[in-house]
Structure 1
Amino acid sequence: MRQTRREVATAALGALVASSGCLGFVTGQESLSFEADPAVAQESVANDTGYELDGTEAQTITREFSAAGQTRNVEVTNQISTCEKTLSLSLLGEQKLGVFAAISSPAVEIAGRTLNPIREFSNERLVQLLTSQYEGLSNVNEVNSQTLRMLDKETRVTKYEATSTVENEEIPVFIHVTKVRHEDDFVVALGVYPQQLSGEESNIVSLIESVQHPA
């Protein structure tokens, strides 16, 4: 169950460096490496909302690109910090069904250009990546949006309804997604919880507003 919850939090990262193939050719270097600083929800807020910090995991993606007879490697390390909460549903009993993730990805700046494709990703695009790479999540539709502050910046947080398959049971869930640029990284916040437990929305809002970077 734990691995499934982490997959929800990290599925949107798979394509973040897919269009960064020009980096090595811009600089002429054989290889380039970029690493994000971790972002994490404030521990006291996690405790107050009943979420348990589950640590930070580095995800390194390496791509090899060829052009003009030259081959270059680009290595990008993203950081994924997760919190989980045990919730009770009649169909499943007590399970870790609440998840919050703070995901940081390096901006990747070369010659004044920001080349990480996440720079252009809307909340809708982030959710599309999530559903395309995580087979247990489907039927995603936007519900509404609100403006919150994360890392001292105003950001649009979009709420989606979706269906999540957990232990062969289909569970209606809400997903909250937002993104900001902070220092040298992009920080994505993602919260997922069962629709039946709609009171969790206020907890996800508190966690979004508490994100710290670098952590």
Structure 2
Amino acid sequence: MSNRRALAAVSVALLLVTSGCIGFLTGEEALTFSADPAAVDEAAAQEAGYELNDTRTLEVNRTFEVAGEERRVVASNELASYEKTMDLGPLGEMPLGVFTVVSTPAVEIAGQTLNPIGSYSNARLVEFVQQRYSGLSDIETVSSRNITVQGTETRVTKFAGTATIQGQEVDVFVHVTKYRDGDDFILALGVYPQQISGEEENVLSMMRAIEHPVSD
């Protein structure tokens, strides 16, 4: 696995948090929920040195047994992933950071929010990343601070950990935040090597510049 794919795997693993979050459904047809896309303002991303490299929709389809009958729920999550790279000549481009924004529907039925993301702490979210990606280990909380995103005050937690990339251990920082906007939960994750000075402020500036829904 390349350095770029390894760092991206840490970030994209956040999507797996939503893979088993939907519970109750009644009715003969599948009930569908779709999140509006979220992204970072283009000018802010460029100023922080990041480029958009991937957008995708992750559809989660689950079947449940309710009152002896099978029912289905389909939820569509949206992801936007950004990278910062450096050209090292003969060694090619190397990733200096990965930033991912995920929007996931709250999934409300009869006034009840079924997506547990809403109640998960940042520590719980980063535990899922660690569990789903075997190359990330030794996660420890470093600090936390509040920032304002889309007019909402949200807590950003900074974690230290070790990522295994091409058989070598690299110390990384992981920043995680989550908030609700309308019918969706928005999660943002930034990962970068600890030796990169000043990258924390770039990650925080990316978080502050999240847009949801994305403007045309």
Q: Same fold (TM over 0.5)?
A: yes
Q: How far apart, CA to CA, are the structure 1 residues paired with 2:151 and 2:19? A: 26
Aligned to 2:182: 183
Q: Alignment identity in percent?
A: 46
Q: Which amino acid aligns with 2:142?
A: V
- Divergent runs of 4+, >4 A: none
Q: Any conservation in 2 of the 1:87–1:98 contact (CA below 8 Å)?
A: no
**C-alpha RMSD of matched pairs (Å):** 1.7
Aligned to 1:74: 73
1:82-122 per-position Cα deviation (integer Å, ceiling 9, x unaligned): 11001489xx8851130011110001111211111111111
Q: Any conservation in 1 of the 2:23–2:114 contact (CA below 8 Å)?
A: no
Aligned to 1:6: 8
Q: Any conservation in 1 of the 2:52–2:81 contact (CA below 8 Å)?
A: yes
- Mark the CA change 1:95 to 1:214 in structure 2 (over 3 Å): closer, same or farther: same
Q: How far apart, CA to CA, are the structure 1 residues paired with 2:46 and 2:5? A: 22
Aligned to 1:16: 18
Aligned to 1:54: 53
Q: How far apart, CA to CA, are the structure 1 residues paired with 2:132 and 2:112? A: 28
Q: How far apart, CA to CA, are the structure 2 residues paired with 1:152 and 1:120? A: 20
For 1:197, what is the secondary structure of its paired residue?
Answer: coil
* Mapping 1:139-178, distance limit 5 Å: 139-178=138-177
1:161 Cα shift? Answer: 0.1
Aligned to 1:64: 63
Instruction: State how many pairs are aligned.
Output: 210
TM-score after normalising by structure 2: 0.91
Q: Any conservation in 2 of the 1:30–1:71 contact (CA below 8 Å)?
A: no
Q: Any conservation in 1 of the 2:35–2:104 contact (CA below 8 Å)?
A: yes
1:13 Cα shift? Answer: 2.5
Aligned to 2:194: 195
> Where does structure 1 lack aligned partners over 5 or more consecutive residues?
none
Aligned to 1:107: 106
Aligned to 2:96: 97
Q: How far apart, CA to CA, are the structure 2 residues paired with 1:124 and 1:114? A: 21
Aligned to 2:133: 134
For 2:39, what is the secondary structure of its paired residue?
Answer: coil
TM-score after normalising by structure 1: 0.92
1:29 Cα shift? Answer: 4.0
Q: How far apart, CA to CA, are the structure 2 residues paired with 1:96 and 1:4? A: 10
Q: How far apart, CA to CA, are the structure 1 residues paired with 2:163 and 2:18? A: 23
1:8 Cα shift? Answer: 1.8
For 2:7, what is the secondary structure of its paired residue?
Answer: helix
Q: How far apart, CA to CA, are the structure 2 residues paired with 1:202 and 1:15? A: 26
1:12 Cα shift? Answer: 2.2
1:120 paired to 2:119: yes
Q: Any conservation in 1 of the 2:17–2:125 contact (CA below 8 Å)?
A: no
